[in-house]
């Protein structure tokens, strides 16, 4: 028992010093991203690195997200369009109201003056 322990200890001591953390491969994980066109991209990240929310698809260049059913390209495009449409709608509505109010005021002024 004691002999075995001595031999084992002597072997470890005679070997060049090794740091177990250094010797092992860097712990990594693979993260999958899907783009709007259904391309899957697997990237490897070090375990300590936080996965980015989006990753540009190397095949088509579209932003890809970690959720296969909800790629970021689709999410980004819709609110942008609807917001623009909403602003346009509001503007034309307000403009229309202003034009109507102006016209009515002008009409009343003309009627009042006459």
Binding site for Zn ion (CB under 5 A): 35, 37, 39, 57, 59-60
Q: How far is the CB of 68 from Zn ion (least distance, A)?
A: 12
Q: How far is the CB of 57 from Zn ion (least distance, A)?
A: 3
- Pick between residue 59 and residue 74 the one whose CB is nearest to Zn ion: 59
- Long-range contacts, stretch 67-76, CB < 8 angstroms, 24+ apart: 67/34, 68/32, 68/34, 68/40, 71/34, 71/35, 71/36, 73/35, 73/36, 74/36
- Pick between residue 45 and residue 60 the one whose CB is nearest to Zn ion: 60
Q: How far is the CB of 42 from Zn ion (least distance, A)?
A: 13
3-state helix, strand, coil in the chain (%, to 5): 50, 15, 30
CB atoms within 10 A of CB 64: 28
Q: How far is the CB of 37 from Zn ion (least distance, A)?
A: 4
């Amino acid at each position: 028992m004691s002999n075995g322990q001595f031999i084992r200890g002597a072997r470890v001591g005679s070997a060049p010093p090794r740091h177990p953390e250094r010797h092992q491969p860097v712990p990594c994980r693979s993260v999958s991203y899907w783009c709007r066109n259904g391309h899957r991209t697997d990237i490897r990240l070090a375990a300590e690195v936080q996965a980015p929310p989006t990753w540009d698809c190397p095949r088509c260049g579209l932003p890809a997200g970690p959720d296969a059913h909800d790629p970021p390209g689709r999410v980004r495009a819709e609110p942008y369009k609807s917001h623009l449409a909403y602003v346009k709608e509001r503007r034309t509505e307000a403009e229309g109201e202003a034009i109507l109010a102006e016209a009515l005021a002008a009409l009343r002024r003309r009627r009042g003056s006459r």
